[in-house]
Amino acid sequence: MDFLTIIDYLGTFAFAISGIRLASAKRFDWFGAYVVGFVTAVGGGTIRDLLLDVPPFWMQQVSYMVVTAAALGFVIIFGKYVIRLNNTFFIFDAIGLGLFTIVGIEKSIAHDYPIWVSIIMGTLTGAAGGVLRDTLINEVPLIFRKEIYALACVLGGMCYYLCAHLGMADALAQFIGAVCVILARLLAVKYQVSLPVLKGDEGNT
Amino acid sequence: MDFLTIIDYLGTFAFAISGIRLASAKRFDWFGAYVVGFVTAVGGGTIRDLLLDVPPFWMQQVSYMVVTAAALGFVIIFGKYVIRLNNTFFIFDAIGLGLFTIVGIEKSIAHDYPIWVSIIMGTLTGAAGGVLRDTLINEVPLIFRKEIYALACVLGGMCYYLCAHLGMADALAQFIGAVCVILARLLAVKYQVSLPVLKGDEGNT
Amino acid sequence: MDFLTIIDYLGTFAFAISGIRLASAKRFDWFGAYVVGFVTAVGGGTIRDLLLDVPPFWMQQVSYMVVTAAALGFVIIFGKYVIRLNNTFFIFDAIGLGLFTIVGIEKSIAHDYPIWVSIIMGTLTGAAGGVLRDTLINEVPLIFRKEIYALACVLGGMCYYLCAHLGMADALAQFIGAVCVILARLLAVKYQVSLPVLKGDEGNT
């Protein structure tokens, strides 16, 4: 099990925890919480794989289901104490976001898509799971209103391309791209950086 | 028209009725009710077919649209009296759940997927239509909070594999698997068997 | 840039505007509004392409993202004055609906699907983006309750087939089909034509 795999599982774990906790706030049962956690963790990558027309990644190996089960067990066993780990999960979540973004970009490049499609696919991989999660628990998606989230993926994707364009080794460009996503996300939350809110009209089209 | 086809149509009819009735409670018009009924009936199988990368089953023959139209006509004509048939629809729904689960498992096996993927696909075929239905009518998905539903599909799928593993004929294993789903569902509702509810924290991640 | 392309962009612009305005009413940030606008504009065609198993159209050229960005800029800059253009946008929206419907039908025919599948695909192309939009902003889909919308696509699709069946040139049949959609939509809103509302029961299945 190499370093990237460990990061991948940590990110999956953190994403699943965020889904399970929001499901628990809605009084979902264990099965419902598991589904929401799983969709949060793999939903973005699944949409990406459907759009790229490749087999969904989590159907190739059982590990994503196992990691989600571990996340459910963790929340069930440690219950209220989970809240004390908020900062830890937040960091895992940011690391997962960075890794998922780069994974999505790489997969798109491997299928010969242009830069802009790859960045969208990277962003979907990182951020769309959270949108599906919020749809399942019947809430307005958080990432459309709070601190910068999906935009961190876009920024990191652009950094990655800049580095690759400058002739850096692929692994280095990937690393810098992921770090950009993570830093952008951490700084956005620390300094509460949000995008402006639209105030067009009452929207009664 | 063989026995399985009749069961398939009965299940489709029952699923469509459940969508149409929930849509009517939200004051949808006929078209909206038809769409919700259709999505409830074919939505799970459509997600399965997209994930397996095979042509969606309902695009191969018009019968699923016709059965949904019949369900809409039934609700329009019999209106308030439909409620008296609650038990009948509940039984159709359970039978449909059992059949759809086995159909989903068979289709996945035919595409060489491993056991655990097939059971997920069976469960999606049976239960995901109801989740799409609840998303369309803007409610928290019922199956994440009420009596055991999707878990009945998982149990039935496991029974099926156990039987197949023990060397039973395929048709027999399928029959036992479907009966397991149906029994698990009927008993769960009769004895109000639910999974524990998660009480982790306020989920304010 | 030919005439059809201009119509396509106008329709995309109008659809994106409708998504962005509804997002602004929910106080989404710029990024959220952009996503909702984009999903409104390309969501229907994306579902169609996934079901037909062809590459999603907006991944082939960047113009749909650019038009959505223009729509976002338009709403940001002109803010409250946008509301005065309600009638203009309504007409663009109807024209987009007609064009998208015919595009969806043509694409399905090109993949050898039968009439009824093609009409569904045309209707999905025109109307499903609005359903995704309403799901993202956590509202009950408008088109299931208000004046005739998706049904206009069905009617236009039928006209198109009738014309083609009568031996008309393809371009003429397409034009008549699109005009039918647009007229049906304009007349439905002008005379407030709605389908009957279902009043079955309380739907507590």
Nearest to A103 by CA among A4, A185, A187, A17: A4
Q: Which of C24, C46, C65 sits opposite A201 (nearest CB)?
A: C24
Report pLDDT for C93.
87
- For range B173-187, the mean pLDDT: 94
CB contact under 8 A, C138 and A143: no
Residue B196 belongs to some domain of the structure: no
Residue A49 belongs to some domain of the structure: yes
Report pLDDT for B25.
87
| The Cα angle at residue B52 between residues B169 and A131, in degrees rounded to 5 | 130
> Taking CA atoms, what residue in B is nearest to A15?
B205
Residue A197 belongs to some domain of the structure: no
The mean of the pLDDT values for chain B is 90
Pairwise pLDDT comparison (B86 vs B132), residue with the higher score = B132
Residue A201 belongs to some domain of the structure: no
Q: Which residues of B touch A62 (CB under 8 A)?
A: 116
Our CA-based measurement puts residue C2 at a distance from the nearest CA of chain B, in whole angstroms, of: 33
Nearest to A159 by CA among A136, A142, A177: A177
* Global ipTM: 0.90
**What is the number of domains present in chain C?**
1
The dihedral through the CA atoms of C38, A105, B52, B133 has a sign that is negative
Burial of B15-49, coded b for 16+ CB within 10 Å and e otherwise, reads: bbbbbbbbbbbbebbbbbbbbbbbbbbbbbbbbbb
CB contact under 8 A, A80 and B139: no
Provide the whole-model pTM: 0.92
Q: Which residue stretches of chain C have pLDDT < 50?
A: 203-205
Q: Which of B116, B198, B200 sits opposite A62 (nearest CB)?
A: B116
Contact map slice: C 21-60 vs A, CB within 8 A: 21-33, 35-36, 46, 50, 53, 55-56, 59
Residue C134 belongs to some domain of the structure: yes
Residue B195 belongs to some domain of the structure: no
In a mutagenesis test of the A interface, which of B144, B146, B195, B199 is the best target, namely the one with the most A β-carbons within 10 Å?
A: B144
Report pLDDT for A205.
42
- For range B148-174, the mean pLDDT: 92
Cβ–Cβ < 8 Å for B36, B130: no
Neighbouring chains of C at 3+ CB pairs within 8 Å? A, B
A112 part of contact set with chain C, CB < 8 Å: no
Report pLDDT for B63.
95
Residue B205 belongs to some domain of the structure: no
User: Tokens standing for A142?
Assistant: 């958080």
Which domain range does residue A134 map to?
Answer: 3-189
C201 part of contact set with chain B, CB < 8 Å: yes
CB contact under 8 A, A144 and C83: no
Residue A186's CB is within 10 A of a number of other CB atoms, namely 16
Residue B197 belongs to some domain of the structure: no
Report pLDDT for B205.
43
Report pLDDT for C200.
54
Q: Which residues of B touch C203 (CB under 8 A)?
A: 21-26
Residue B73 confidence (pLDDT) above 80: yes
Report pLDDT for C79.
75
Q: Which of B53, B151, B199 sits opposite A31 (nearest CB)?
A: B151
Under DSSP, the state recorded for A167 is T
CB contact under 8 A, C200 and B80: yes
Residue B204 confidence (pLDDT) above 50: no
Q: Which residue stretches of chain A have pLDDT < 50?
A: 203-205
Q: How many Å apart are CA B185 and CA B127, to the nearest integer?
A: 12
